[in-house]
A and B are shown apart, each in its own frame.
Chain A
Amino acid sequence: QSALTQPASVSGSPGQSITISCTGTSSDVGAYNYVSWYQQDPGKAPKLMIYEVSNRPSGVSNRFSGSKSGNTASLTISGLQAEDEADYYCSSYTSSSTVIFGGGTRLTVL
C-alpha cells in the first residue's frame, strides 16, 4: 500500500495560517475518520497533534485544527509561531487493518 501524499515542504510567516494536505484513497483516508497528525522536531519522537480527523489531545494548542474531505485530510495551523517549525506527518487506518503514514512535510516559519 502506497504512503499518503503530503507536500514535501510548506512555509509561512509568523502570524499567518498554513494548511498541509494529506491525500489517500477510498481504502484509507476516505474510508475512516481515523486520520491523525504528528509533529516531529529533529532527533525527537513524534507528538500527536490531531486524532480522529479533527480532535486535539489535551495540551495541544487550539491553533492546530484538522479536517477531511473525501480522500484528503488537512492540518491547518493558524497564528503561525516560530516554535511550530517542524516536520508534520499524517497517518490513517486502512481497510487492510494496517496504518500508513504520509511522507512528511517540513514546515518552515520564515
Chain B
Amino acid sequence: EVQLVESGGGLVQPGRSLRLSCTVSGFTLGDYAMSWFRQAPGKGLEWVGFIRSKPYGGTTEYAASVKGRFTISRDDSKSIAYVQMNSLKTEDTAVYYCARHRRGYAFEIWGQGTMVTVSS
C-alpha cells in the first residue's frame, strides 16, 4: 500500500526551528518529486515547496512566504523527505502535509498531516 506519514510537528516558540519528516512506503521515493503544503486553522491550502527527483536535478522551489527560511531535502535511501523550518513565525502555525507528485504538477498521494504550532 502506498503511504506517506508526516512526523515532527509540535509546539515551538517564535524564532526557533523544527524539522518535519515525510516517511513513504509502497513506492520508491527516488522516482518522484515531492511537495510540502500547509493549511492554517480554518484556512485554505498553501503550497510550501517541492523537491525534484534526482534524475531531474533534485532541485527545489519554494513559496515566497517561506523562501530563505524553509529548506526541503530528501534521503531516497531512507525513503524520507524533509522540510527544515527556521526562524518560525506565528503565521507558520498550520497542519503540514507532504504529497507525491504525478505528472503535470498534480499531487496524487497525501499524508495525514502533522500540526505545527508556533507560539510563545
Chain A interface residues (CB < 8 Å from chain B): 1, 3, 33-34, 36, 38, 40, 45-48, 51-52, 55, 57, 87, 89, 91-93, 97-104
Contacts and interface: CB of A to CB of B under 8 A. Distances in A.
B65 to A, nearest CB: 10
Nearest to A53: B104
Contacts of B99: 46
A103 B44 contact: yes
A92 B46 CA distance: 12
B1 interface: no
Contact of A101 (B47, B64, B108, B111): B47
A102 to B, nearest CB: 7
Mostly, the A contact residues are strand
Given A46-B97, A51-B104, A89-B45, 16 more contacts: A1-B64, A33-B104, A34-B104, A36-B106, A40-B45, A45-B111, A51-B103, A52-B104, A55-B104, A91-B107, A98-B47, A98-B64, A101-B45, A101-B46, A102-B44, A104-B45
A28 B90 CA distance: 29
Contacts, number: 69
Given A45-B113, A98-B61, A99-B35, A36 B105 contact: yes
A91 B50 CA distance: 14
Q: Which of A36, A57, A97, A98 has the largest number of chain B CB atoms within 10 A? A: A98
A98 B106 contact: no
B21 to A, nearest CB: 16
Interface string B63-81: 1100000000000000000
Contacts of A87: 44
B112 interface: yes
B63 A98 contact: yes
Contacts of A1: 64
14 contacts: A33-B104, A34-B106, A36-B105, A38-B107, A40-B45, A48-B106, A51-B106, A52-B104, A93-B104, A97-B61, A99-B35, A99-B105, A101-B44, A101-B45
